[in-house]
Amino acid sequence: MNIKSIRSFIKPLALKKPYTIAYNTYTDVSLVFTAIELSNGIIGLGSASPSEDVVGESPEQTLLNLETDFIQSFIGRDIRHFQQIISEVKEQFPHLPGTLAALDLALHDAFGKYLNIPIVDFYGRKINALPTSVTIGIKSVQDTLQEAAEYAQMGFKILKIKTGLNIEEDIERIAKLHDQFQHHFTIRVDANQGYNLQQLTQFIQSTQQYAIELIEQPTPVGEENHLLQLSDLNRKCIAGDESVKDPAAALSFSIPPQPFGIFNIKLMKCGGIKGALEIANIAQHASIDLFWGCNDESALSIAAALHVAYACKHTKYLDLDGSLDLAEDFVTGGFYIKEGSLILNDGVGLGIKGI
């Protein structure tokens, strides 16, 4: 079955509410969508939401890449060769994971629909459901507690708290959350590179009684070796995010002594499902747990992350709440939420329908 057409477009989408992290504040997001039509009428959908701050690629650049003659040259190729096509795209656009992710997801979706099976079953389903965290940006204690109460009413059980601007305020927010919600929420922290080693040590010591589940990317990229001064037990609960951009980085951090006990995999960092599986395989052999994250993204790419996450037996954590932040989306389906857990639907491919 051959590829008949490839088209892409960009869609600016507002967020339900702005949120702040250690290095930026976001009010909206531009998402790139790709549709690959096969000669029998099957349409595979892909999406990209690259973070320029992290990977150096903007959505506008992603769209320009997807509209090149090189991408159009895949028209006529057999969808059964989709993994080879992904490899060729990676060679043409190295270090541009948004471009690769949009094509990777659309090809996977089309191939799964061609086989009439979900992508998770193509790779081998290992997990049926896991709870996801929901994220609270950097804000006042009062606003943090109010948002946490809203998430409790919605049935979520895990909070991820953004920190990294003011360590004293960070510690206070965690303490107040624990006091009010210790019997309801598990708490994770994401400093987005906002701490130096001294501040991280202070944060760990000041919050150890609150049973924080993990701390994501506490120190800047390039300072990973500083984390080796922490105890083995503390490093086991540190998740690498911005540092773990691709399989090469994952491989470098898998060599003992390891700065991270957890790898955060985002399809928008590593270029889609194929790249994510490469990182996952490295982590498995290094006894590193998997933590699947996201940017502000369409339910399309969130569903794709779920398919690959549930095909990896060492997946331990989910933070796939990005589509919940959108005021609108371009697709429906893919998964549903039950008591804070994400469950894939029974649809073939990525299980997504276009609006």
Q: DSSP string spanning 215-264? A: EES-S-TT-GGGGGGS-HHHHHTEEESTT--SHHHHHHHTSSSPS-SEEE
Decide if 301 contacts 15 (C-beta within 8 A). Answer: no
Confidence at 22, pLDDT banded by 50, 70, 90: low
CA 110, 112, 118, 123 torsion-angle sign: negative
For residue 61, give Cα distances in angstroms to 14, 30, 269: 20, 11, 15
Tell me which amino acid residue 198 is: Q
Give the residue carrying structure tokens 């892409």.
8
What's the pLDDT tens digit per position in 139-161? 999 999 999 999 999 999 999 99
pLDDT of 203 over the 80 cut: yes
Cα separation, 321 vs 159, in Å, equals 11
pLDDT of the residue at 19 = 67
What is the rounded average pLDDT of the residues 106-135?
Answer: 98
pLDDT of the residue at 26 = 75
Q: How much of the chain is helix, strand and coil, in % rounded to 5?
A: 40, 25, 30
Closest CA to 307 of 156, 50, 118, 28: 118
pLDDT of the residue at 23 = 66
- CATH code assigned to 3-117: 3.30.390.10
What's the pLDDT tens digit per position in 299-313? 999 999 999 999 999
pLDDT of the residue at 40 = 97
Confidence at 101, pLDDT banded by 50, 70, 90: very high
Tell me which amino acid residue 209 is: Q
| Coil, helix or strand at residue 130 | strand
Residues 6+ positions from 59 with CB-CB distance below 8 Å: 10, 30, 31, 32, 48, 49, 50, 98
DSSP classification of residue 346: S
What's the pLDDT tens digit per position in 314-332? 999 999 999 999 999 989 9
Domain ranges of the chain: 3-117, 121-354
Decide if 163 contacts 189 (C-beta within 8 A). Answer: yes
Cα separation, 248 vs 256, in Å, equals 15
Polymer length in residues for the chain = 355
Confidence at 342, pLDDT banded by 50, 70, 90: very high
Give the tokens for residue 161: 């708290």
Cα separation, 218 vs 203, in Å, equals 10
pLDDT of 34 over the 90 cut: yes
Decide if 216 contacts 191 (C-beta within 8 A). Answer: yes
Whether the link from the prior residue into 131 is cis, omega within 30° of 0, is no
Decide if 129 contacts 342 (C-beta within 8 A). Answer: yes
Cα-Cα-Cα-Cα dihedral of 167, 173, 175, 177, to 10°? -150
Burial of 235: CB neighbours in 10 Å, binned 0-12, 13-18, 19+: middle
Identify the helix (H) or strand (E) that includes residue 145. helix 141-153
Tell me which amino acid residue 9 is: F
Cα separation, 338 vs 156, in Å, equals 9
The highest-level CATH class for domain 121-354 is alpha beta
Strands 331-333, 352-354: pairing is antiparallel
pLDDT of the residue at 18 = 76
First-to-final CA distance of the chain: 25
Task: Please name every residue paired with 189 in a beta bridge, in sequence order, or none if there are none.
Answer: 161, 215
Cα separation, 270 vs 263, in Å, equals 12
